[in-house]
Structure 1
């Protein structure tokens, strides 16, 4: 069993197209998608159209959930919300929050019980983002009967082997290699490269083999689009992999 895992596309269609081409060139036919498909100032509708066309096994991320909540409220000034059509919202609404893939792989966005959780990493009191401890990670995996667990949300690629032999893998972000946040304290995530990122998973004798793959693409158009919409953090992250904070 060999397949690719993508996550956190965030409306970056050029990055997605490049990753899908790279996966095809490697002869991999199966792809799973871990959510946060379209949110942000980029190309929400065009990205949703491509993902809908491809029909990958997919789950709903926290930002997908928030867009659906905005739909229920009926109005939003957000750029992504205004791009989306009813068919796009219906597509996201059809997705589960978690999924067991081929009876062997558990898919979630943040953690199995919280789509907005930092699971393999945590935000320290000083705002630094650090790898989480094994005890906390194992607590989040309690009750999950799968040898491989895939998560996303942080955009930080990570591979963790639990002490019982299960693997937890975050494939990183296809479309957004850096961002900032305010909860629980102000923090910044920076991957340090603008490359699109995904993972290749293969079941081998003795467990799972994992490859985190970084793919270069032309970032200029999406960085310029984010800049034009006043999203300096997004523009700098897409262009460089590093975050220039708003107003600095």
Structure 2
């Protein structure tokens, strides 16, 4: 078993194209998608045109839900007008979790129980991300009896081995290498490179083995689109991987 895991595309069709080309070049046929597919100021419509025909196993992210519930958030507002009714209908049918590969792999966006809790990272009171405690990570996995659990949401590539030899893997973000947000406190997440991220996962005699990939692409073109739509913060992070 060998497949690719993608997450947090956030409407960046140029990053998605680069990742799909990289996956194809490696001869990988199966891809799973961990949600947050359209919200963002690059081009949600073109992202939908590329992604939906692939019919990938996909779970719902918090920004996918926001597009359905309100669509007035900073990330949803530029994306919603570019999506067709078919695109919105597709979002409606996405599940919170999905079991794959003969119930050896569980897909979720944030944690198996909700789409907003950062699983492998935690935010300190001074606005810095760091790895979550072992106790917290284990707590989110109680009763989740899968050898491999895939999550996204925090945009940070990481793998954590749990009790029972279970492995949690976050492949990073395809289309958004950083962001600034103000809740619960002002904070930044920044990757430090503008590359499009994903992971390859292979089942070996010793268990599941993740390999993290960072793919260069025409990120300056993506940044130019974001800037033309008035999203200077997105333009900055798409250009450099740093917020501001």
TM range (shorter): over 0.9
Q: How does 1:163-202 map to 2 (within 5 A)?
A: 163-202=163-202
Aligned partner of 2:213 in structure 1 is 213
CA distance in 2, matches of 1:12, 1:121: 23
Q: Shift of the alpha carbon at 1:196?
A: 0.4
What is the distance in 2 between the residues matched to 1:160 and 1:196?
21
Shift of 1:83: 1.0
Deviation at 1:46, TM superposition (A): 1.0
Equivalent position SS for 1:198: strand
Q: Could you report, residue by residue, the CA deviation over 1:86-109 in whole angstroms, capped at 9, with x for unpaired residues?
A: 000001111101101121101100
What is the aligned partner in structure 1 of residue 125 from structure 2?
A: 125
SS in 1 for 2:136: helix
Q: Which runs of 5+ in 1 are unaligned?
A: none
CA RMSD of aligned residues (A): 1.4
Alignment of structure 1 residues 29-68 onto 2, 5 Å: 29-68=29-68
Query: C-alpha separation between the residues in 2 aligned to 1:145 and 1:119?
Result: 16
SS of the residue 2:116 aligns to: coil
Q: Is the 8 A contact 2:96 2:114 kept in 1?
A: no
1:225 matched to which residue of 2?
A: 225
Provide the rounded CA distance (Å) in 1 between the counterparts of 2:234 and 2:122: 21
Unaligned stretches of 5+ in structure 2?
Answer: none
Distance 2:191 2:242 in 1: 7
Q: CA deviation at 1:182?
A: 1.2
Matched residue of 2:209: which SS?
Answer: strand
Give the secondary structure class of the aligned counterpart of 1:82.
helix
TM-score (norm 2): 0.96
* Map 1:66-77 → 2, pairs under 5 A: 66-70=66-70
